[in-house]
Amino acid sequence: MIELKLRQILRQVKSDKPKIRYEALGKLYQYKNQDGLEIQVDVLKDMIKTAASKFPERVDRWDNPSFYLIEFVCDFPMREVVESLIQHFDGLDLHAKEQAIELLIMTESKEVFYFLEEKIINLMQTEDFIIPVRALSSYPVLMKGILDSSLEKLSSSHYKFMLYRLLLAFNSSGYELGYNKEVVLPFLLEDYHNEKQEYLKFDSEYSTKHAYSAWKDSYFILRNRMTLFIHLMEYYYTPAIGFELEEALNFQDPLIRTETLLVCISKNLPFKQSTLLECAEHIESAENIYWELKLRNLEHLYPITERKQLHLAKTRLFFTIINLPDQGNEQPFFPEDIQVIDKVEAENPLGELERYYLMRFKEQGDMYVGWAGGYAFEEDDDAANIKDVTYTDFVEFDSATIQEHKQAFFKKRRHYKSAHENTVYFESSPKLSKGAWFILAILISSWFRVVSSGFKDPLLPAIVITILGGAYCLYESVKNKKRKISIIGPTLVKQDGAKQYSSNFHDIKKIECNKRHILTYNMENELVFKFPLRWVRYELFHLAIKEHSAHLKSKIIIQSKN
């Protein structure tokens, strides 16, 4: 049983020998990566309790059992896990606390949010805590509570940029525009001026190739800070900010110019149409400015009005390639001379036609094949909507004809489709019923009385209970193995003995849960099938449905468990 192995790990991570701790954490990592893992709640609670206890002195960065135990249990977002995390929160390692906070935010519970606000504010009194800005960004009331008590940390080199990102998320929520302007604005102007002076050292020599091939991370950090400050200027605008924006419109970095242009449009400030056209045509900013304008219902301002797919496909492939993981190359990937060569049409898993573009690009002197898509059909090649399947396998362009490249594309899609449709992403079977556990309890107590009496009590009753109880439990166990709920590819499957029921995700409208059953309905609100609640851990089932149906246009409505 996995529970016995995990309890052994809990003993081993407390060992005084680093080698034993290292091996135990390695086993834990292997279990974490197993799909469809189900763990008894008591074991998860014991893992949290252990994570909050004291460990031997660390010998290296890997030696942090508290963090890895919490990282493991956070894959099981059950009510009991949440309650245990709150109970033992103070004893956790700092990095374990950060992991726990991410899960606790997902509860969206007012009581949990009150708890988190206090804990996050207290943790910010240290200089090591990482604020979970992305996780907080959907909850303005919680963000405001944290900001109200921590704006003085804008002077902290550790918290400064995390707080600026939190301020941007809070302002973007619309809850309180220009929040605490009299406090934030002086910090914003001073910090922007400091970053601008650093940026100006690069501006005159800026080129896309320099940025991605030579300057790299040190420059990208500077760029991100500049765009962050400029975006905040939309909410903290003053005449002094206006002068800064006017200057930034002439900077060479296309992403900084794009961010500046968007703020100018938002504040009805003057700008040149040539600047808008340059941002729309540049391979770094073409897609960014299109989607930002669309988000603001200003798509009509986008100056490229025809064949947008072909234009944006180049930007999509460019960023796909430069963001590929480093494979030990001396030089980072930098695609040049990106061209659209041809196109194909293919069905997605929902049966909808999508368009994919066969691309050619140069990488370190060689020409390769890339694919960008799949683009929607609604407006022919002017529809920019994309379900991103953009990639390259670095196949040399001249190694085959265009027709052969297309054939290879469809062969890869068939292989992926077959693998996807046969992959089990979630599987759960019912455990022994309460009746079976009751019989086992009687069986154990019967033998306990016999042993306690020195085998003076009659053996026959215990033997009879053992035979009958064992037979019943064995029968139920065998029967349960033939009962399961699975997510196989894009399909929810119920198996009950020889009978099997299934429904593709795009045919499911909603999933409801009552005290005894889970019910699945189709688009006509007709019951497709139902199964007992005890067949699954509902929290994990809920999470799996959300994860594997997130791509659907019509989202499945799945009821949260009361």
C-alpha 406/C-alpha 424 separation (Å) is: 29
pLDDT of res. 13: 94
- Determine the average pLDDT of the residues in 309-336: 87
pLDDT at 437 over 60: no
pLDDT of res. 444: 64
C-alpha 203/C-alpha 196 separation (Å) is: 10
543: confidence class by pLDDT, cuts 50, 70, 90: confident
pLDDT of res. 506: 87
More confident residue, 94 or 331: 94
Q: What share of the chain is helix, strand, coil (3-state, %, to 5)?
A: 55, 15, 30
Q: Is the pTM of this model over 0.75?
A: yes
pLDDT of res. 193: 97
pLDDT at 422 over 90: no
pLDDT, tens digit, for every residue of 442-467? Answer: 666 665 665 666 666 666 665 666 66
pLDDT of res. 96: 96
pLDDT at 404 over 80: yes
More confident residue, 470 or 207: 207
Compute the half-sphere exposure of residue 527: CA atoms within 13 Å on the CB side of its CA.
8
Q: What would the two tokens of residue 84 be? A: 């245990």
Q: Backbone dihedral region of 349: left (phi > 0), alpha (psi from -120 to 50 degrees) or beta? A: alpha
pLDDT at 376 over 70: yes
Q: How confident is the prediction for the chain on average, in pLDDT?
A: 89
pLDDT of res. 284: 96
pLDDT of res. 326: 73
pLDDT at 384 over 90: no
What φ, ψ does residue 447 adopt, rounded to 5°?
Answer: -70, -30
C-alpha 137/C-alpha 259 separation (Å) is: 20
More confident residue, 480 or 257: 257
pLDDT at 531 over 60: yes
pLDDT at 470 over 80: no
What φ, ψ does residue 157 adopt, rounded to 5°?
Answer: -65, -30
Amino acid at the residue 463: I
Q: For residue 425, with 0-12 CB atoms within 10 Å meaning exposed, 13-18 middle and 19 or more buried, which class applies?
A: middle
pLDDT, tens digit, for every residue of 126-165? Answer: 989 999 999 999 999 999 999 999 999 999 999 999 999 9
pLDDT, tens digit, for every residue of 516-528? Answer: 889 999 999 999 9
More confident residue, 63 or 349: 63
Whether 162 and 135 have beta carbons less than 8 Å apart is answered as no
pLDDT of res. 104: 96
pLDDT of res. 148: 96
pLDDT at 428 over 90: no
C-alpha 485/C-alpha 500 separation (Å) is: 10
pLDDT at 291 over 90: yes
Whether 536 and 421 have beta carbons less than 8 Å apart is answered as no
pLDDT at 327 over 90: no
- The angle at the Cα of 223, spanning 219 to 227, to the nearest 5 degrees, equals 175
pLDDT at 562 over 60: no
pLDDT of res. 433: 61
33: confidence class by pLDDT, cuts 50, 70, 90: confident
pLDDT of res. 221: 96
pLDDT of res. 461: 64
248-252, 275-279, 294-298, 437-441, range with the lowest pLDDT: 437-441
pLDDT, tens digit, for every residue of 48-72? Answer: 999 999 999 999 999 999 999 999 9
More confident residue, 387 or 335: 335
- Determine the average pLDDT of the residues in 540-557: 84
C-alpha 510/C-alpha 519 separation (Å) is: 8
pLDDT at 483 over 80: yes
Torsion of CA 299, 300, 301, 302, to 10 degrees: 60
